[in-house]
């Protein structure tokens, strides 16, 4: 199953609804109104079929749109420098 297919999957929709109800529609980060369920471990084509990642309640958090956008659209630093000043991947 592709990621796109996953998000249309009825079992996901039920799990998403359950997580939102469990979290009382409250953003786990700022306390605002949650509208999204975020996968802490990002879904990829290689792990979308692994229910330990895609459906695991411990890997899901309720978030508001603003917090979700900060997480999913932020620029994360992928490199740092070693003691010689050479860039290395984090």
The pLDDT, as a whole number, for residue 76 is 61
Alpha helices in 1-90 (DSSP H): 3-7, 10-22, 51-54, 65-73
Question: 13-42: per-residue pLDDT in tens?
Answer: 999 999 999 999 999 999 999 999 999 999
pLDDT in tens, 35-80: 999 999 999 999 999 999 999 999 999 999 999 998 887 666 566 7
The kind and range of the H/E element at 32 are none
**Model confidence, pTM:** 0.78
């Amino acid at each position: 199953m592709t990621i796109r297919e996953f998000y249309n999957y009825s079992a996901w929709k039920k799990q998403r609804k359950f997580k939102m109800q469990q979290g009382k529609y409250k953003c786990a980060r700022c306390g605002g109104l949650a509208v999204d369920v975020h996968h802490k471990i990002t879904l990829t084509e290689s792990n979308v079929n692994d229910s330990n990642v895609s459906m695991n309640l411990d890997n899901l958090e309720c978030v508001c749109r603003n917090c979700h956008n900060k997480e999913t659209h932020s620029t994360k630093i992928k490199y740092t420098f070693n003691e010689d000043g050479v860039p290395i991947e984090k």
